[in-house]
């Protein structure tokens, strides 16, 4: 009789990007605006106490409205730029959204960036998948509009009614449903894909770890889906830009391990 295999743990390390500059100016960002994050070469790794070992990613999942800029060269002589992920090493092309960069990408560089562990073998190319389902909410014809220019009743509905949808856009509830549907199918897709090849997986490293790069609102929607809450719960979860969150799936159950780690909450935390 063969021994049943142990359920595999799926681990999502979610890295939130900066918000488009328009958000800081009280506007709904243009549809083509992208959230940015820089992945520096840094020996410190993620600031998550739940991780006993530096993570090794089997895949990078990049929301279509987000961009990873090239790694920032470090002045620390102990830093090894060869240890950064191949796709984000300094001098290589950034990870761009499907359709190429937007004009705003050269202007909206984040002021502070999180740290990515360099513990990915330099010979292992990490597959990168652009996911449309992880885009931020679709505001339809309201993209690019200043909130102060909206009619008072329209602004109130946008901010307080999860079932309200802007013209040709989606409601907050529809946005959460879209993200939740993607999350539901993820374990089956990753089980079919398989784990990190044994040649590059440390001994005892059983979890499959994905790096999710998306805007803060998307990570909040993921957490709400795991906790069984609707969009009303999102306002109670503070996940600032340029922070990391840890979500795990084991034996058919999702678990929220950490949210918004690595940066104090500030005015830029809304997204």
Number of domains in the chain: 1
How far apart CA 18 and CA 193 sit, in angstroms, is 30
Give the model's confidence band at 177: pLDDT under 50 very low, under 70 low, under 90 confident, else very high: very high
| 55 domain-assigned | no
| 264 domain-assigned | no
Q: Which tokens in the block code for residue 154?
A: 């329209």
- Residue 268 has a pLDDT of 44
Between 115 and 144, name the one with better pLDDT: 144
| 54 domain-assigned | no
How far apart CA 241 and CA 259 sit, in angstroms, is 11
36-50, 85-99, 210-224: segment of lowest average pLDDT: 85-99
pLDDT above 90 coverage of the chain, percent: 50
How far apart CA 27 and CA 142 sit, in angstroms, is 9
β-pairing, 244-250 vs 253-261, is antiparallel
Average pLDDT, the chain: 75
The parent domain of residue 239 ranges over 10-49+63-259
How far apart CA 62 and CA 46 sit, in angstroms, is 18
| 108 domain-assigned | yes
**CATH number, position 99:** 3.40.50.1240
| 268 domain-assigned | no
Question: Which region, left, alpha or beta, applies to residue 269 given φ > 0 means left and ψ of -120 to 50 means alpha?
Answer: alpha
- Residue 125 has a pLDDT of 66
- Residue 176 has a pLDDT of 98
| 87 domain-assigned | yes
How far apart CA 101 and CA 105 sit, in angstroms, is 6
| 185 domain-assigned | yes
Q: What is the pLDDT of residues 31-80, one digit of tens each?
A: 999 999 877 554 344 556 667 677 778 889 999 999 987 665 544 433 44
Residues 6+ positions from 4 with CB-CB distance below 8 Å: none
- Residue 76 has a pLDDT of 41
| 4 domain-assigned | no
């Amino acid at each position: 009789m063969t021994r049943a295999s142990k359920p595999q743990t799926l681990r999502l390390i979610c890295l939130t990007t900066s918000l488009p500059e328009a958000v800081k100016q009280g506007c709904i960002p243009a549809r083509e605006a992208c959230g940015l994050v820089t992945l520096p070469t840094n020996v410190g790794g993620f600031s998550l106490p739940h991780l006993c070992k530096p993570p090794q990613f089997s895949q990078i999942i990049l929301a279509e409205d987000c961009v990873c800029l090239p790694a920032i060269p470090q002045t620390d002589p102990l830093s090894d730029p060869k240890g950064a992920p191949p796709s984000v090493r300094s001098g290589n092309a950034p990870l761009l959204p499907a359709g190429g960069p937007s004009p705003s990408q050269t202007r909206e560089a984040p002021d502070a960036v999180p740290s990515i562990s360099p513990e990915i073998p330099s010979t292992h190319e990490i597959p990168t998948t652009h996911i449309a389902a992880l885009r931020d909410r679709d505001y339809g014809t309201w993209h690019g509009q200043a909130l102060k220019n909206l009619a008072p009743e329209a602004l109130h509905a946008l901010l307080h009614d999860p079932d309200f949808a802007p013209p040709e856009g989606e409601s907050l509830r529809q946005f959460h449903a879209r993200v939740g549907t993607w999350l539901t199918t993820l374990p089956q897709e990753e089980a079919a894909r398989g784990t990190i090849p044994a040649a590059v997986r440390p001994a005892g490293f059983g979890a499959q770890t994905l790096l999710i790069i998306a805007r803060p609102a998307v990570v909040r929607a993921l957490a709400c889906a795991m906790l069984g809450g609707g969009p009303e719960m999102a306002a109670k979860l503070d996940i600032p830009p340029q922070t990391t969150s840890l979500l795990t799936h084991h034996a058919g159950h999702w678990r929220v391990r950490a949210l918004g780690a690595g940066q104090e909450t500030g005015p830029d935390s809304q997204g």
